[in-house]
């Protein structure tokens, strides 16, 4: 599209995560400094363009947001295709505000909407965001490194209290259908058992590993993803509520497993649910750099008129992939990656 005067919109959808503000900063800096464009923020995810909730963003607005967690634009799990007249409302808002293109920062749900909007004739470029690292078209998503760092630090801290009281500690981390956070934080934290959604676990085997650890006069640390499932069981639901994309809120497997371990071993066992603490706070240096690069390359895609794509990390390079590819399937933990970790169990 060249450097003719444009106005681009940017929004952050789905769950918040560290690094969102770094993307926004990258978009604004390159959009304004390099191209002379105006940048209009839409507040609260897809709710913003549906309801006309806007926030102009200039250079001064992004001066000090690199290290801030969360998002200055707010977020939501709004699905415009579940809102009556939602897509037409977006068209109307973009026209009223003279927005020529949208940069949507989000995970599979946000980018799924971006793909459908592109099919419906609205120019969108996607940026991959999820602490779960489960988008298949990119090697890493920003937010993941920070979440793993937070979970690992928690495991390190919990180990000292577990050893002091000779108890088993079950640490529940996020991961609905992909166990990347559990696997990486478990390995980094020296966990004695790691349980992921991709592989149903045998409670008897977990108890054997726990007892083996106790026999060595050490306290067991078990890291379990919130979506992990016992053999023959089902996901332990925190509530029956579903969001606008049909996802049931999970949680509770950690507490359930801690109780099972206590009953079967006669040893004291506790559960710690890290929950949203994994999403919060200052992003790591890695996530700041990755998020910034994503923002810069998203602007490049807009400048080229290359819509319907997502910027992605392949090796150390930022490339563009079709949104249809980005949302085609989840990236889950391969069996061989999980088996690598099993040598440390027990």
Q: Specify binding-site residues.
A: 15, 108, 130-132, 167, 174-176, 226, 270, 276-279
Question: Which residues participate in catalysis according to the annotation?
Answer: 132
Handedness of CA 329, 333, 335, 337 (dihedral sign): positive
Point out the annotated binding site for Mg(2+): 108
Paired tokens of 301: 């895609």
For 327, half-sphere exposure in the C-beta direction (CA atoms, 13 angstrom radius) is 19
Point out the annotated binding site for substrate: 130-132, 167, 174-176, 226, 270, 276-279
Please give the order of strands across the beta sheet that includes 101-106.
54-57, 38-42, 7-12, 101-106, 124-128, 309-314, 317-322
Burial group, residue 160, by CB count within 10 angstroms (0-12, 13-18, 19+) = exposed
Question: Which residues sit opposite 314 in a β-bridge?
Answer: 317
Contact status, residue 155 vs residue 223, Cβ threshold 8 Å: yes
CA dist list (Å): 95 to 45, 117, 250: 18, 15, 39
Tell me which DSSP letter residue 343 carries: G
CA dist list (Å): 330 to 40, 130, 143: 31, 12, 17
Best CA proximity match to 298, nearest among 150, 157, 102, 114: 102
Point out the annotated binding site for diphosphate: 15
């Amino acid at each position: 599209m060249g450097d003719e005067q444009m106005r681009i919109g940017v929004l952050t959808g789905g769950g918040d995560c560290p690094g969102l503000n770094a993307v926004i900063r990258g978009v604004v800096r390159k959009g304004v400094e390099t191209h002379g464009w105006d940048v209009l923020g839409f507040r609260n995810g897809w709710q913003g363009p549906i309801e006309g909730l806007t926030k102009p963003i200039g250079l001064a607005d992004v001066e000090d947001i690199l290290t801030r967690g969360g998002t200055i634009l707010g977020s939501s799990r709004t699905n415009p295709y579940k809102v009556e007249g939602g897509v037409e409302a977006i068209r109307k808002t973009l026209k009223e505000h003279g927005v020529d293109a949208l940069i949507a920062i989000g995970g599979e749900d946000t980018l799924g909407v971006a793909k459908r909007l592109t099919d419906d004739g609205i120019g969108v470029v996607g940026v991959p965001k999820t602490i779960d690292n489960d988008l298949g078209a990119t090697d890493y998503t920003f937010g993941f490194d920070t979440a793993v760092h937070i979970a690992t630090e928690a495991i390190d801290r919990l180990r000292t209290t577990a050893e002091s009281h000779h108890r088993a500690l079950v640490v529940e981390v996020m991961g609905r259908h992909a166990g990347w956070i559990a696997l990486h934080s478990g390995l980094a934290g020296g966990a004695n058992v790691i349980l992921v959604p991709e592989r149903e676990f045998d409670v008897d085997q977990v108890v054997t590993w726990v007892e083996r650890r106790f026999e060595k006069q050490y306290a067991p640390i078990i890291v379990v993803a919130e979506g992990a499932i016992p053999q023959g069981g089902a996901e332990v639901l925190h509530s029956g509520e579903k969001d606008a994309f049909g996802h049931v809120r999970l949680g509770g497997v950690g507490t359930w497993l801690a109780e099972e371990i206590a009953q079967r071993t006669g040893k004291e066992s506790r559960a710690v649910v890290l929950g949203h603490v994994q999403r919060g706070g200052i992003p790591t240096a890695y996530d700041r750099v990755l998020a910034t690069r994503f923002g810069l390359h998203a602007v490049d895609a807009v400048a080229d008129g290359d819509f319907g794509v997502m910027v992605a990390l392949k090796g150390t390079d930022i490339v563009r992939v079709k949104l249809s590819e980005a949302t085609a399937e989840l990236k889950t933990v391969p069996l061989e990656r999980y088996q690598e970790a099993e040598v440390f169990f027990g």
